[in-house]
Chains A and B, each alone.
Chain A
Amino acid sequence: MKADPYARLDAAYLLGALDADERFAYEAHLAVCRRCRAGLAEISAIPPLLAGLDESVFAAPPEAARVPVPDTLLPRLLQAAGPGRARRRWLTTGLGLLAAACAIALIVIVVPSSGGPKTAPRAMTALVATPVDATIALQPRSWGTEIDLTCWYQRGPAEPSSDRYELVAHGAGGATYDLGNWRLAPGQRVIFTSGTALTETQIKNLQVTEPNGPAILAFALPPLSRAAGR
């Protein structure tokens, strides 16, 4: 049996590293492959956590602070091995880091616990020629729907005509809801979290617009999802 050529693409997809053709093919494959959807859901909460980090954290840490994780760790952890030496070492380091973290007020990001699958981010569709690209993920919440938008400029010759963008929701009933705005500098990747009291079934589509300008990107909720929603 042939291996699934898409099986290892979820991370590159979430990180925005696939080109448009690859992304389109991957999304088409996702629609028919439960395994790839499950794989994507496993890690979809992770890339947003990288937002706002300094590039220095990707550099090699000083030797003393380094606790390497071997490549074989993943299978071992997945076997849910009992607490061992490695775990105690992690605990010791982790406690110190947490104490340091608690001492400083920081931007707080909410992440769901590992139990529940998250809705995967999906690409928004360009309505006009624009260098702006974005993915969007909708999470049902007790208060409505959380909307996580990741936005960046594609590489290419096109100059953005604006550096401000707005997110707008159109309700199934025809009303328009302003979900906030942000600034996007070249080379930057903005993760913009918003929300609405509407449930997913009450949202017809979401659009990124320039201020007082036309919609440039859109994401239409699949009618199936709206019909089948609770």
Chain B
Amino acid sequence: MVTGRLPEQPIGDASEQVVNRHLVAAALRRLTQEHRDVLRECYFRGSSVAQAARALGIAPGTVESRTYYALRTLRLAIEELRDVE
């Protein structure tokens, strides 16, 4: 059980923005294929780190670091596309 709490900030409705599926798909296209591959394995196919490593022929540590960078790059790509609005 995690007892540590993240700092809470009021999240006002005004600060929320809408992201739709097309935008997320567009942002995914900006990732490298290696990054899309680990996201497909770990998220879409529900693989564990070990299963994704076997499926992709890479080390488990590489799966961890690729997902780490893939989600951060995806976040930036979504924000870039959203900022155009």
Report which A residues bind B (CB closer than 8 A). 8-12, 14-19, 22, 27-28, 30-32, 37, 41-43, 45-47, 49-50, 52-53, 55, 57-61, 65-71, 73-74, 77, 87, 90-91, 93-95, 97-98, 100-101, 104, 106-120, 122, 125, 139-142, 152, 155, 187, 189, 220, 222, 224-225
Contact = CB atoms under 8 A, between A and B. Distances in A.
Interface residues of B, number: 65
Given A11-B71, A42-B72, A119 B3 contact: no
The interface centre, meaning the residue of A15, A19, A93, A97 with most chain B CB atoms within 10 A of its CB, is A15
Interface string B1-35: 11111111111110111111111111011111100
Contacts of A66: 29
Contacts of B52: 17
For the complex of A and B, the 5 pairs showing the least CB-CB separation, nearest first, are A58-B40, A11-B67, A101-B22, A31-B4, A17-B42
Given A101-B22, A222-B1, 12 more contacts: A42-B72, A47-B71, A53-B24, A58-B28, A97-B22, A109-B18, A109-B19, A112-B17, A140-B8, A142-B13, A222-B5, A224-B5
A195 B13 CA distance: 15
A28 B4 CA distance: 9
Contacts of A142: 12-13
B76 A73 contact: yes
B9 A116 contact: yes
Contacts of A220: 1
A31 B3 CA distance: 6
Nearest to A103: B22
A27 B2 contact: yes
Nearest to A11: B67
B3 A222 contact: yes
B72 A74 contact: yes
